[in-house]
Structure 1
């Protein structure tokens, strides 16, 4: 977990933000690149907040995200800190290993050939 210290705003304790590591981003962008090449996805956004880092995936630029990949370090010892969440807010997969969690997205690349 990477934590960035920001200057305090009316408090004595600095604000801690959750970020993705370079290795985690490499794994996510690998899946993202394959889906872009397949023509499924077109844009992404990254947010770093106090308790969660979010990688949002868009089909088109001016839409709501179709998937969100969230990292919540506080859930590391409970449900796993990574989750893939669909457009409707449903958790598609949760776990402690990022590659395993992202397999739910790679299944979208497998199509029946007629």
Structure 2
């Protein structure tokens, strides 16, 4: 509780269980003492976002690092959205992404939560195992290492 005073009225901010906030007002006006508790709705929506965990990000960055070392890729972006997480890969940061690695948990029981999407929107590979899905880049890595 953090109290403060304005004239003959005292205010205190109260943090209740579950993140609800309220203001307790106490007035000494006109010789009487009264107190009111005014609840405020939670202004910060508890929206969860989908993200890559440490293991998934490590697998993605391993492939990304090899392609950067060969000069094929130069930039990336990570979007954590309400329904999916996207790792976008760029040749130049001013262009459209060459590839997008998407994690969509809603698809985990069907085709698999992971997919690699090309620039034109074509799904190159999808599956339940991220390592297996990322193997779609193995041929490019071999070509980049040899070339």
TM bracket, shorter-chain basis: 0.7 to 0.9
Q: Deviations over 1:30-51 (max 9, x none)?
A: 0000000111000000000011
Tell me, in whole angstroms, the C-alpha distance in 1 between the residues paired with 2:137 and 2:89.
11
Larger Rg: 2
Does the alignment pair 1:64 with 2:96? yes
Q: Which has the higher contact order (CA 8 A, sep 6+)?
A: 1
Size of the aligned set, in residue pairs, is 104
Q: Hey, what does 1:105 align to over in structure 2?
A: 137
CA drift at 1:7: 2.4
Pick aligned residue for 1:7 from 44, 53, 63: 44
Q: Which runs of 5+ in 2 are unaligned?
A: 1-42
CA drift at 1:109: 1.7
Tell me, in whole angstroms, the C-alpha distance in 2 between the residues paired with 1:86 and 1:74.
21
Give TM-score, length-normalised by structure 2.
0.67
Tell me, in whole angstroms, the C-alpha distance in 2 between the residues paired with 1:74 and 1:20.
14
Tell me, in whole angstroms, the C-alpha distance in 2 between the residues paired with 1:78 and 1:49.
20
RMSD across aligned C-alpha pairs, in angstroms?
Answer: 1.8
Give TM-score, length-normalised by structure 1.
0.86
Q: Hey, what does 2:81 align to over in structure 1?
A: 49
Tell me, in whole angstroms, the C-alpha distance in 2 between the residues paired with 1:33 and 1:98.
16
Does the alignment pair 1:91 with 2:123? yes
Does the alignment pair 1:21 with 2:58? no
Q: Which runs of 4+ in 1 moved over 3 A?
A: none
